[in-house]
Structure 1
Amino acid sequence: MSVVKINVLTVPAEQRETLEQRFASRAGVVENADGFEWFELLRPVDGTDKYMVYTRWRDEESYKAWMEGSMKQAHQGGGDRPKPAATGAEVWSFEVAQHAAPKNA
């Protein structure tokens, strides 16, 4: 059963463009991770300062393996690494209980 992880990032208005640029230029490592199914960066439109980073995985084990491997390496930096664009973050976890796709897809 697929699992969904939503990383909720608090991003001040002056850092929104920086955050989006960093995601646009990311290394793309997640796309090659075993068990990876989907990624979306969701921009807020209703006056909130919360971005959501949506990823879907084949199972919890695939997500954990990515977190302990490639993701951990990608987020380790040297002394010249820029400061984070987000001022806060939390991860929400879900299992996919139902799924629907367009009938003519």
Structure 2
Amino acid sequence: MFVALSVFEVANGMEAEVKEAFVKRPHLVDSAAGFLGMKVLSPQDKLNEIWVMTYWEDDSSYKDWYKHHMKEAHEGVPKGLKLVPGSTKVRFFDQVTQ
């Protein structure tokens, strides 16, 4: 299994709107080849930080989805959202144990 973790910090107090957008997301990625699931987390000690973990069969499935569908996946971003400069990070993981 391959995991892509995106982390970002909301700069302008819109974390509730961002979290609600994930709750109401259109599930476009759910039918992507190789997609296994997604979890959205927010640390209790830093509520403006959002972690988006997507689970894939392999890295090529993720890369194919990213290349062809990333723009449409972000269409539900709340209008006016501002992020803390430099806070956006994407990391990739291979699953070692279950």
User: What is the TM-score with the length of structure 1 in the denominator?
Assistant: 0.77
Structure 1 runs of 4+ with >6 Å offset: none
- Give the root-mean-square deviation of aligned CA atoms: 2.2
Worse overlay, 56-65 or 44-53: 44-53
Q: For structure 1, list consecutive stretches of 5 or more residues without a partner in the other structure.
A: 100-105
- What are structure 2's unaligned runs of at least 5 residues? none
8 A contact 2:29–2:35 mirrored in 1: yes
Cα deviation 1:32-75 (Å, max 9, x = unaligned): 11100110110220236321001110001100111012223333
Amino acid of the structure 1 residue aligned with 2:21: R
Alignment match, 2:68: 69
Percent of counterpart pairs with the same letter? 28
1:33–1:48 Cα change, 3 Å = same
Larger radius of gyration: 1
Number of equivalences: 95
CA distance change for structure 1 residues 65 and 32 in 2, over 3 Å: closer, same or farther?
Answer: same
> 1:23–1:48: structure 2 CA closer, same or farther, 3 Å change rule?
closer
* SS of equivalent residue, structure 2 residue 83: coil
Question: Structure 2: which amino acid aligns with 1:18?
Answer: E
Q: Name the aligned partner's letter for residue 59 of structure 2.
A: E
